[in-house]
A = this chain, B = another copy of it.
Amino acid sequence: MNEDLQPGQLLARGVCRHLRSHDFVSVEELVPVPGLRVDVMALGPKGEIWVVECKSSRADFQSDNKWHGYLDWCDRFFWAVGADFPTELLPADTGLIIADPYDAEIIRTGPETKLAPARRKVMVQKFARHAALRLQALRDPRVTPSGIP
Protein backbone atom coordinates (compact mmCIF):
# COMPACT_ATOMS: atom_id res chain seq x y z
CA MET A 1 0.00 0.00 0.00
CA ASN A 2 3.11 2.18 0.40
CA GLU A 3 3.21 3.56 -3.10
CA ASP A 4 0.20 5.78 -2.52
CA LEU A 5 1.31 7.36 0.73
CA GLN A 6 2.38 11.00 0.92
CA PRO A 7 5.54 11.97 2.83
CA GLY A 8 3.52 12.98 5.90
CA GLN A 9 1.60 9.70 5.81
CA LEU A 10 4.83 7.73 5.67
CA LEU A 11 5.99 9.52 8.82
CA ALA A 12 2.60 8.74 10.38
CA ARG A 13 3.07 5.05 9.61
CA GLY A 14 6.41 5.00 11.40
CA VAL A 15 4.90 6.91 14.32
CA CYS A 16 1.99 4.48 14.66
CA ARG A 17 4.36 1.52 14.58
CA HIS A 18 6.50 3.01 17.30
CA LEU A 19 3.55 3.95 19.50
CA ARG A 20 2.59 0.26 19.67
CA SER A 21 5.78 -0.31 21.65
CA HIS A 22 4.36 2.12 24.24
CA ASP A 23 1.06 0.15 24.20
CA PHE A 24 -0.69 2.99 22.39
CA VAL A 25 -3.02 2.26 19.48
CA SER A 26 -3.44 4.84 16.73
CA VAL A 27 -5.69 6.11 13.99
CA GLU A 28 -4.93 8.64 11.30
CA GLU A 29 -6.85 11.67 10.07
CA LEU A 30 -9.38 11.83 12.86
CA VAL A 31 -11.63 14.90 13.01
CA PRO A 32 -12.00 15.92 16.69
CA VAL A 33 -14.31 18.80 15.76
CA PRO A 34 -15.38 20.15 12.37
CA GLY A 35 -12.55 22.10 10.75
CA LEU A 36 -9.73 20.23 12.49
CA ARG A 37 -8.15 16.96 11.38
CA VAL A 38 -5.23 15.47 13.27
CA ASP A 39 -2.59 13.39 11.49
CA VAL A 40 -2.34 10.78 14.25
CA MET A 41 -4.47 10.30 17.34
CA ALA A 42 -3.20 7.68 19.76
CA LEU A 43 -5.01 6.04 22.67
CA GLY A 44 -3.00 4.72 25.61
CA PRO A 45 -3.67 1.81 27.96
CA LYS A 46 -5.15 4.13 30.61
CA GLY A 47 -7.21 6.14 28.15
CA GLU A 48 -4.51 8.72 27.44
CA ILE A 49 -5.06 10.71 24.25
CA TRP A 50 -2.05 11.90 22.30
CA VAL A 51 -2.03 13.89 19.07
CA VAL A 52 0.90 13.76 16.65
CA GLU A 53 1.24 16.16 13.74
CA CYS A 54 3.57 14.89 11.02
CA LYS A 55 5.60 17.47 9.11
CA SER A 56 7.61 16.36 6.12
CA SER A 57 9.28 19.73 5.51
CA ARG A 58 9.83 23.24 6.80
CA ALA A 59 7.18 24.54 4.43
CA ASP A 60 4.71 21.92 5.63
CA PHE A 61 5.23 23.11 9.21
CA GLN A 62 5.15 26.79 8.40
CA SER A 63 1.87 26.55 6.54
CA ASP A 64 0.14 24.95 9.55
CA ASN A 65 -1.88 27.59 11.33
CA LYS A 66 -4.24 25.19 13.08
CA TRP A 67 -2.04 23.22 15.41
CA HIS A 68 -2.84 25.31 18.50
CA GLY A 69 -6.39 24.09 18.10
CA TYR A 70 -5.29 20.48 18.57
CA LEU A 71 -4.01 21.12 22.09
CA ASP A 72 -7.56 21.23 23.41
CA TRP A 73 -8.21 17.66 22.29
CA CYS A 74 -5.31 15.72 23.78
CA ASP A 75 -3.29 15.10 26.93
CA ARG A 76 -0.03 15.46 25.02
CA PHE A 77 0.85 16.97 21.67
CA PHE A 78 3.85 15.95 19.53
CA TRP A 79 5.41 16.93 16.27
CA ALA A 80 6.81 14.10 14.16
CA VAL A 81 9.49 15.07 11.68
CA GLY A 82 12.27 13.42 9.71
CA ALA A 83 15.86 13.35 10.93
CA ASP A 84 16.78 16.22 8.60
CA PHE A 85 14.06 18.60 9.80
CA PRO A 86 15.25 21.86 11.42
CA THR A 87 13.78 21.07 14.84
CA GLU A 88 14.77 24.48 16.24
CA LEU A 89 11.71 25.79 14.40
CA LEU A 90 9.39 23.79 16.66
CA PRO A 91 8.03 25.30 19.88
CA ALA A 92 10.06 24.04 22.84
CA ASP A 93 7.00 23.27 24.95
CA THR A 94 5.67 20.61 22.57
CA GLY A 95 6.58 16.95 22.22
CA LEU A 96 8.99 15.80 19.53
CA ILE A 97 9.21 12.53 17.64
CA ILE A 98 11.83 11.76 15.01
CA ALA A 99 10.28 9.41 12.48
CA ASP A 100 10.84 7.64 9.20
CA PRO A 101 8.43 5.40 7.32
CA TYR A 102 9.51 2.34 9.31
CA ASP A 103 9.82 3.43 12.90
CA ALA A 104 10.15 6.45 15.16
CA GLU A 105 11.58 7.60 18.45
CA ILE A 106 10.16 9.93 21.07
CA ILE A 107 12.78 12.63 21.74
CA ARG A 108 10.77 14.66 24.25
CA THR A 109 7.24 14.26 25.57
CA GLY A 110 6.45 17.90 26.25
CA PRO A 111 4.00 18.94 28.97
CA GLU A 112 0.90 16.99 29.90
CA THR A 113 -2.37 18.89 30.00
CA LYS A 114 -4.99 16.37 31.06
CA LEU A 115 -8.32 16.37 29.32
CA ALA A 116 -11.39 16.86 31.46
CA PRO A 117 -13.14 13.51 32.04
CA ALA A 118 -16.18 14.45 29.94
CA ARG A 119 -14.02 15.42 26.97
CA ARG A 120 -11.86 12.31 27.31
CA LYS A 121 -15.01 10.21 27.20
CA VAL A 122 -16.09 11.96 24.00
CA MET A 123 -12.65 11.55 22.43
CA VAL A 124 -12.34 7.85 23.24
CA GLN A 125 -15.73 7.31 21.68
CA LYS A 126 -14.82 9.35 18.59
CA PHE A 127 -11.62 7.33 18.32
CA ALA A 128 -13.59 4.08 18.58
CA ARG A 129 -16.08 5.11 15.92
CA HIS A 130 -13.39 6.37 13.57
CA ALA A 131 -11.36 3.16 13.88
CA ALA A 132 -14.37 0.88 13.48
CA LEU A 133 -15.66 2.74 10.41
CA ARG A 134 -12.28 2.66 8.68
CA LEU A 135 -11.88 -1.01 9.56
CA GLN A 136 -15.32 -1.90 8.22
CA ALA A 137 -14.66 0.06 5.02
CA LEU A 138 -11.49 -2.00 4.43
CA ARG A 139 -13.03 -5.36 5.33
CA ASP A 140 -16.34 -4.78 3.58
CA PRO A 141 -15.80 -2.25 0.78
CA ARG A 142 -19.48 -2.12 -0.04
CA VAL A 143 -19.99 -0.08 3.12
CA THR A 144 -19.27 3.63 2.91
CA PRO A 145 -18.56 5.71 6.03
CA SER A 146 -22.16 6.83 6.00
CA GLY A 147 -23.64 3.36 5.47
CA ILE A 148 -24.70 1.23 2.55
CA PRO A 149 -24.74 3.27 -0.69
What are the 5 tightest A-B residue pairs by CB atom distance, in nearest-first order? A131-B131, A128-B128, A25-B132, A131-B132, A20-B147
CA distance A131 to B21 in the complex (A): 17
Shortest Cβ gap from A68 to chain B (Å) = 26
Contact A132/B47 with A17-B148, A147-B21, A148-B20 known, Cβ cut-off 8 Å: no
Interface size on A, residues (CB 8 A): 32
In contact, B134 and A13 (Cβ under 8 angstroms) = no
Say whether A135 faces chain B, with CB atoms less than 8 Å apart: yes
Q: Which of B1, B124, B134, B146 contacts A128 (CB 8 A)?
A: B124
Instruction: Name 17 interchain pairs, CB-CB below 8 A, sorted by A.
Output: A16-B136, A16-B140, A17-B142, A20-B146, A20-B147, A27-B132, A27-B135, A43-B125, A43-B128, A47-B125, A124-B125, A124-B128, A128-B131, A131-B132, A134-B135, A135-B138, A138-B138
